[in-house]
């Protein structure tokens, strides 16, 4: 199984070179493996991504920063994090910058989070927020303030199209159909193409396949073919 996963990761690298996935494939793959609770393969993704630029520490930091920007979600993030940091080739390749330490009050990001969500969810957003307000206000704080306001709407490292691709890559292994459908549409609404959407979906399914998913039929693409 390990060898199959590593071969797939290498093939992704090769197939993505010279395409619009060249600087995104490793993000999608890392996200998919982390969501599948196979954090050990996140290390293999990083190692493969920098394999042709062994002495380019600036590029190492670039890849590392982008991977660290997407594998949040406790506890699976910790499994992925522990594997990832073990394969950083040198201190010069490490990066510890933070893009959020200037935020003194996370709630200050609520407006940005809601604006970002509205572009994705459209008419579904207000009923969704209303249900949380009525039954579980703390869930709204988690979703709006932290997940979308604090993280997802920040596009300084990962742009909105890539973020949508990574949401798909995270959610497919969790078999949560409604959420995958939302973010399929979100990819298009954020300016992405069907090819970019399908690339994220296919990588997520194949990453999951490498360790033998069971009981899941990948019908989402047909059932929820994205609409504007």
Q: Indicate whether 67 pLDDT > 60.
A: yes
What pLDDT is recorded for position 28? 94
**Do 144 and 117 meet the contact criterion of CB atoms below 8 Å apart?**
yes
Rounded mean pLDDT, 202-223: 66
**% of residues, the chain, pLDDT over 90:** 60
Q: Indicate whether 102 pLDDT > 70.
A: yes
Closest CA to 149 of 183, 189, 100: 100
What pLDDT is recorded for position 14? 97
Domain ranges of the chain: 2-99+154-223
How does pLDDT run across 134-193, given as a tens digit for each residue? 988 888 998 999 999 999 999 999 999 999 999 999 888 887 788 888 999 999 999 999
- Give the pLDDT band (50/70/90) at residue 222: very low
pTM of the model: 0.78
Q: Indicate whether 227 pLDDT > 80.
A: no
Angle subtended by helix axes 160-171 and 194-209, to nearest 10: 30
Of 5-19, 55-69, 73-87, 108-122, least confident by mean pLDDT is: 73-87
Rounded mean pLDDT, 21-49: 92
């Amino acid at each position: 199984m390990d060898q199959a996963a590593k071969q797939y990761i290498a093939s992704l690298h090769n197939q993505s070179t010279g395409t619009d996935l060249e600087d995104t494939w490793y993000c999608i793959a890392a996200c998919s493996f982390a969501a599948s609770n196979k954090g050990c393969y996140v290390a293999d993704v990083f190692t493969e991504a920098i394999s042709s630029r062994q002495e380019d520490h600036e590029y190492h930091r670039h890849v590392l920063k982008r991977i660290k920007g997407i594998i949040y979600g406790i506890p699976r993030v910790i499994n992925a994090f522990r594997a990832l940091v073990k394969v950083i080739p040198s201190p010069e390749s490490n990066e510890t910058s933070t893009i959020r330490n200037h935020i003194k009050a996370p709630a200050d990001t609520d407006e940005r989070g809601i604006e970002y969500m509205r572009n994705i969810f459209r008419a579904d957003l207000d009923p969704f927020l209303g249900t949380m307000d009525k039954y579980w206000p703390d869930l709204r704080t988690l979703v709006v303030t932290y997940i979308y306001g604090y993280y997802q709407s920040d596009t300084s490292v990962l742009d909105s199209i890539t973020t949508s691709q990574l949401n798909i890559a995270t959610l497919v292994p969790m078999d949560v159909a409604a959420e995958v459908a939302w973010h399929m549409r979100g990819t298009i609404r954020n300016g992405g193409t069907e090819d970019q959407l399908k690339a994220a979906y296919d990588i997520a399914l194949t990453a999951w396949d490498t360790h033998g998913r069971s009981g899941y039929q990948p019908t989402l693409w047909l059932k929820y073919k994205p609409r504007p």
